[in-house]
A and B are shown apart, each in its own frame.
Chain A
Amino acid sequence: MSDQPSVALTGRGRWPVFVALTLVALTILYPLIFIVLTSLRTNPDYLANPFGMPGNWTLENYAELLDVYGVGQAFVNSMIVSSAAVVLVLILATLAGYALAKLPVPKAKWISAVFVSVMLVPGPVLIIPIYLLLSRLGMVGSYPGLILVYVAGGLPFGVFFLSLSFRAIPDEVIESARIDGAGFLRTVWSIVLPMGASALATLAVLQFLAVWNELIFAFILVTDESMRLLTPTLASIGTRYLNDQPLVTAGLLITSAIPLLLLAAASKYIMRGLAGGVGK
């Protein structure tokens, strides 16, 4: 994407555009600022003057969520499940993506068709059969079952995305590694991973966000209170404590903290991916 200003507007015509963009940005930023401020005050203080600054700043909403509602444990649980799902997707998608991009896999068309066809299936269709399947395997209420569901959901896009970027690795590089005696795994490890690092990072971020934010399967498949993940925990707090806004907003921020940090860290990659991919 070029940095050239467009030719459509003259210098003087540009400031209304800036003002308009600022106004639109405020519709996104103001609610978030409001949430941050609300989470740092007591409920009586909020009800007295919701739009002012907090009368006394406090972290008690956060403390209450951690102590009383088990949000700390849910946070750790979500970390474990999301990380496991991301690592598995990265490993399996790297192997499959590289093979489909560079090796003469027999029936490659059929294999790709399996992945693509699954990408089109809406999640709600899977609720009943996944629940029955996992309960037969005795995996309802356990993390491995949930993680496998997430991995299966993430792999089709992951394989497609990685094989697309691995195709850009020059054949000569792979050929010279082969002449040096590198086998399949060695080639993946010392050539494919480093050269595909930015694609892998992008996939890792997108996959982590998807799992971290997922609600329906996390809600249905994990029933034990102490094993609950963060997003369903927040959903039940948010729907139950309607008249304690500061408490709920603190929960919103705890749930969004990791996604917001990831966006801050990876925005460059994500924006590049968006700019390149779809327009052409």
Chain B
Amino acid sequence: MHRRNGIIGLIAVLPALAVVLGFATYPILFAAYISFTRTNGIRFEWRGLDNYVQLLNDPIVWTVFVNNLKFLIAVPMVIFCALLVSVLLYERVRGWRLFRVVFFLPNVLSVAVIGIMFRNAFGYYGPINQFLGLFGIAPIEFFTDGTLAISVIVLALVWSGFGFQALLLLSGLTAINPAIFEAAALDGAGWWQRVWHITLPNIRRILGFVFIINVLYTFTSLFGFVFVMTAGGPGFDTTTIDYLVYLRAFSSSNLGYGAALAMLLFGFIAILTVLQAKVFRIQEVD
């Protein structure tokens, strides 16, 4: 009976397993293979580490990596906003359930929608310039300057990310035993003191988690924003690694080069993830 159930279970798992192996696992291994070849997609010529060597000597790759580092400025901004909002939500004021849904709202919108919203808002004819015009300020070309363009994308990242993360942090806050707060209140601790000495230390772990997903996000998920807002320009000023993978995949005669870039990104993400696991373990011990 046990054995029979096992076989039935295996048969039930197989379709899902086959799709994932075929359309996710196999493509990753295939990408690893492609990265060692020179190829146009039809004929594959084994080239060893050539693509990787070429990558590391490519000044554009370094420029783009530095761009990604610039986008990291969004991480503390998102977390600060999320923390602020979660502490406010924790007070359970009138209508807090509705506030929760409003803050979650950007999360159901496509990155393409949010990107176009911000592109429009900061466009030459957009509301921001129209508003500045009311004070006689000439329209600003936000997307012809690398730093300004990155700032607008960072703003879009903060706007679309803080609400969901505030809800994640709120779930951490809710897990704190209210008795701790009551004891602190009896001892005469003020509201700010309680936030600083009780709330923050108690949500360290989830803060760490939110920090890591934000960092990973800036390295893997900016494609949509860059695609609709700047197309990587001016020059390569707003091109990110994931966008460069796309550019190299469809504009270069050697797909191996794009695949090698993708594998480097994958390796980098894997290292970040392992570091994350380490950090979590340390926090569980103390």
**Shortest beta-carbon distance, B56 to chain A, in Å?**
18
Question: Across the interface, do B120 and A249 meet the contact criterion of CB distance under 8 Å?
Answer: yes
Known contacts A4-B92, A215-B110; A124 and B265 CB within 8 A of each other: yes
Question: Across the interface, do A122 and B266 meet the contact criterion of CB distance under 8 Å?
Answer: yes
When distances are taken between beta carbons in the complex, the residues of chain A under 8 Å from B89 are 21
| Stretch with Cβ within 8 A of A (4 or more), from B18-26, B72-80, B146-154 | B18-26
When distances are taken between beta carbons in the complex, the residues of chain A under 8 Å from B120 are 238, 242, 245, 248-249
Taken together as a complex, chains A and B put the C-alpha atoms of A106 and B6 apart, in Å, by 6
Cβ contacts B1-28/A at 8 Å (1 or 0 each): 0100110111011011101111111111
Interface centre among B16, B104, B106, B255 (most CB of A within 10 A): B16
Query: Residue B99 at the A interface, CB < 8 A?
Result: yes
**Shortest beta-carbon distance, B80 to chain A, in Å?**
12
Count, A-B residue pairs, CB within 8 A: 317
Taken together as a complex, chains A and B put the C-alpha atoms of A156 and B96 apart, in Å, by 33
Residue ID in chain B nearest A15 by CB atoms: B93
Question: Across the interface, do B10 and A106 meet the contact criterion of CB distance under 8 Å?
Answer: yes
> Which 6 residue pairs across A and B have the least CB separation, nearest first?
A103-B9, A213-B110, A152-B23, A279-B171, A122-B220, A238-B116
Chain A contact patch, size range: 35 or more
Taken together as a complex, chains A and B put the C-alpha atoms of A159 and B24 apart, in Å, by 15
Question: Across the interface, do B13 and A105 meet the contact criterion of CB distance under 8 Å?
Answer: yes
When distances are taken between beta carbons in the complex, the residues of chain B under 8 Å from A35 are 117
Query: Residue A3 at the B interface, CB < 8 A?
Result: yes
* Residues of B85-139 whose CB lies within 8 A of A: 85, 88-97, 99-106, 108-113, 115-117, 119-121, 123-127, 130-131
* Residues of A203-222 whose CB lies within 8 A of B: 209, 212-216, 219-220
Q: How many interface residues does B have (CB within 8 Å)?
A: 106
Binding site for B on A (CB under 8 A): 1-9, 13-15, 17-18, 20-21, 24-25, 27-29, 31-32, 34-35, 47, 50-51, 92-93, 95-96, 98-100, 103-106, 111, 114-115, 117-118, 120-133, 135, 148-149, 151-153, 155-156, 159, 184, 209, 212-216, 219-220, 231-232, 234-235, 238-239, 242-243, 245, 248-249, 251-252, 255-256, 259-260, 262-263, 267, 270-271, 274-280
Binding site for A on B (CB under 8 A): 2, 5-6, 8-10, 12-13, 15-17, 19-28, 30-31, 34, 41, 85, 88-97, 99-106, 108-113, 115-117, 119-121, 123-127, 130-131, 159, 163, 167-168, 170-175, 178, 181-182, 185, 191, 194, 206, 209, 216, 219-221, 223-224, 227-228, 231, 241-242, 245-246, 249-250, 255, 258-259, 262-263, 265-266, 269-270, 273
Q: Given A118-B25, A122-B265, output 7 extra A-B contacts at Cβ < 8 Å.
A: A8-B194, A96-B16, A126-B27, A216-B224, A238-B119, A255-B110, A278-B172
**Shortest beta-carbon distance, A4 to chain B, in Å?**
7
When distances are taken between beta carbons in the complex, the residues of chain B under 8 Å from A156 are 20, 24
Question: Across the interface, do A127 and B194 meet the contact criterion of CB distance under 8 Å?
Answer: no
Can you offer 16 A-B residue contacts whose CB atoms are under 8 A? A17-B88, A18-B93, A21-B89, A95-B12, A106-B6, A111-B13, A124-B262, A125-B31, A128-B249, A129-B26, A213-B108, A215-B110, A215-B228, A238-B119, A245-B123, A245-B126
Known contacts A28-B102, A104-B2, A129-B31; A122 and B242 CB within 8 A of each other: yes
